[in-house]
């Protein structure tokens, strides 16, 4: 036994040593990338098509005649699917803008750094981009990293636009804006959508009172519902400690005659609610926010239970408008898969930066701080018709104003409404 223990201890120590080596090595690489001064080489290594390289080279030769926009997000690790989508879509938007003449006649150079969805690595990535003389930051992709990076951008007075960082703290300073709705604002958007489209007249809510995401949405939903033509007939909570049995909450919703049940929760609990509602013969419309996204991917889940479920989402790839169709086709051609909402957010983010930069009359010879001051005002003056909303505007707090969009699950896939 003792010998076993000592072997175990020894191997544990050895593991720690190796782990130490690993991180040192990767930091080394980061530093190397940071000190790399030739932007051309950087872009050549990252860029996927000839135009990007050509542009970069041209920009370099014009000495200061190019805007440097940086991006940060996870392109490896568990959240890589989000980071890759943002990187690809942003590059797509940049290439389009460059091909059409750039921002006010100046070309854009775009560089994306991986943060592995780790706040510390995200800050490192930000420093790397700063060494590259980034002027505007489009990022970060995930909320946790964004909260860390916004502290740095605020201190540096660097303009930051996050495509998808949805937590309140992600844009708590005046230099930071976002394209997506904040978590609690999804409650407002949901209430608006249900009211504007007359989806239901009697609404029940089941929310997780022990979770800030869920209770935040719930509170905004209640506030907004006061001015909407529907009535909340039942609002029942559950907590992290009792989230297996939802019979009471469903029974109350049913007894109160609700024709829509709003679920501002994550899909794990929602899948249980759907199956318990089915055993109770209760079939209202279920309406959720982005937390429900993923319910169709629950392994072994009977997707027929989710039939008719509605979901607030900024983007549906099968929407019929021309902008979406063009974007989806080009994205598929270039990257081989259907773009998700993160891709759409990133695409809109780049175009929002373009619109605001042109409004402010930016030139590439301005430093990041001057650009930031100009952009802060310009962002509140632009109106953008993007993939995630028509007539999008921003207020000084950095929150977007746009009409909410929803999808419905039909035959196991999302269908635009």
By CB under 8 A, name the one of 31, 222, 280, 390 that touches other proteins: 280
In the bound complex, what is the minimum distance in angstroms from residue 209's beta carbon to other proteins?
5
The reply on whether position 267 binds other proteins by CB under 8 A is yes
Task: Determine, following the binding rule CB under 8 A, whether residue 320 of this chain makes contact with other proteins.
Answer: no
Footprint of other proteins on residues 198-217 (CB under 8 A)?
Answer: 209
Binding string, 351-380, against other proteins, x = CB under 8 A? ------------------------------
Rule CB under 8 A: say whether 3 interacts with other proteins: no
What strands lie across the sheet with 285-288, from one edge to the other?
A: 231-238, 202-208, 260-263, 285-288, 310-312, 406-410, 413-416
Which pairing describes strands 66-73 and 176-178: parallel, antiparallel, or unpaired? unpaired
Q: Would you say 191 or 274 has its CB closer to other proteins?
A: 274
Write out the H or E segment, with its range, that includes residue 69. Answer: strand 66-73
Nearest alpha carbon to residue 269 among 297, 303, 238, 231: 238
Footprint on residues 294-313 left by other proteins (CB under 8 A): 297-302
- Of 172, 202, 252, 408, which lies in the binding site for other proteins, with binding defined by CB under 8 A? 252
* Rounded CA separation 210/222 (Å): 17
**Least separation, in Å, of the C-beta of 276 and other proteins?**
8
Which one of 16-24, 59-67, 176-184, 278-286 is the stretch in contact with other proteins (CB under 8 A)? Answer: 278-286
The values of phi and psi at residue 364, to 5°, are: -65, -15
In the complex, minimum distance from the CB of residue 299 to other proteins, in angstroms, rounded to a whole number: 4
Is the CB of residue 216 less than 8 Å from the CB of residue 187? Answer: yes
Residue 315 · residue 341 · CB < 8 Å: yes
Applying CB under 8 A, which of residues 31, 33, 222, 237 lies at the interface with other proteins?
237
**Helix, coil or strand: residue 296:** helix
8 A C-beta contact, residue 316 and residue 133? no
**What residues line the site for other proteins (CB under 8 A)?**
1, 209, 236-239, 241-245, 247-249, 251-252, 255, 267-269, 271-272, 275, 279-281, 297-302
């Amino acid at each position: 036994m003792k010998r076993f223990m000592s072997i175990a201890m020894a191997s544990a120590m050895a593991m720690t040593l190796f782990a130490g080596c690993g991180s040192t090595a990767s930091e080394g690489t980061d530093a190397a990338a940071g000190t790399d001064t030739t932007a051309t080489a950087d872009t050549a290594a990252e860029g996927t098509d000839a135009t990007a390289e050509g542009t970069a080279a041209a920009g370099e030769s014009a000495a200061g005649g190019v805007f440097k926009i940086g991006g940060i997000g996870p392109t490896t690790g568990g959240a890589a699917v989000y980071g890759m989508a943002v990187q690809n879509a942003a590059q797509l938007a940049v290439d389009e803008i460059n091909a059409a003449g750039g921002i006010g006649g100046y070309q854009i150079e775009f560089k994306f750094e991986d943060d592995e969805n780790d706040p510390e690595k995200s800050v490192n990535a930000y420093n790397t981009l700063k060494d590259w003389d980034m002027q505007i930051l489009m990022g970060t992709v995930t909320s946790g990293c964004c909260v860390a990076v916004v502290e740095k951008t605020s201190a540096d007075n660097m303009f930051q636009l996050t495509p998808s960082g949805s937590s309140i703290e992600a844009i708590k300073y005046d230099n930071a804006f976002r394209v997506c709705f904040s978590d609690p604002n999804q409650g407002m958007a949901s209430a608006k959508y249900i009211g504007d489209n007359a989806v239901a007249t009697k609404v029940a809510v089941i929310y997780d009172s022990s979770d800030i995401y869920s209770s935040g949405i719930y509170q905004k939903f209640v506030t907004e519902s006061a001015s909407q033509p529907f009535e909340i007939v039942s609002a029942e909570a559950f907590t992290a400690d009792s989230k297996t049995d939802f019979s009471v909450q469903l029974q109350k919703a049913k007894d109160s005659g609700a024709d829509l049940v709003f679920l501002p929760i994550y899909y794990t609990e929602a899948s249980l609610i759907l199956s318990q509602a089915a055993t109770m013969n209760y079939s209202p419309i279920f309406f959720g926010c982005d937390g429900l996204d993923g319910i169709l991917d629950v392994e072994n889940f009977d997707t027929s239970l989710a039939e008719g479920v509605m979901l607030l989402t900024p983007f549906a790839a099968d929407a019929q408008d021309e902008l979406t169709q063009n974007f989806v086709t080009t994205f598929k051609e270039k990257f081989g898969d259907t773009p998700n909402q993160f891709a759409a957010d990133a695409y809109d983010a780049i175009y929002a930066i373009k619109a605001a930069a042109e409004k402010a009359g930016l030139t590439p010879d301005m430093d990041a701080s001057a650009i930031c001051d100009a952009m802060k005002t310009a962002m509140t003056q632009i109106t953008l018709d993007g993939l995630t909303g028509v007539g999008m505007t921003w207020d000084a707090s950095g929150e977007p104003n746009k009409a909410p969009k929803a999808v419905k699950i039909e035959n196991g896939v999302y269908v635009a409404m």
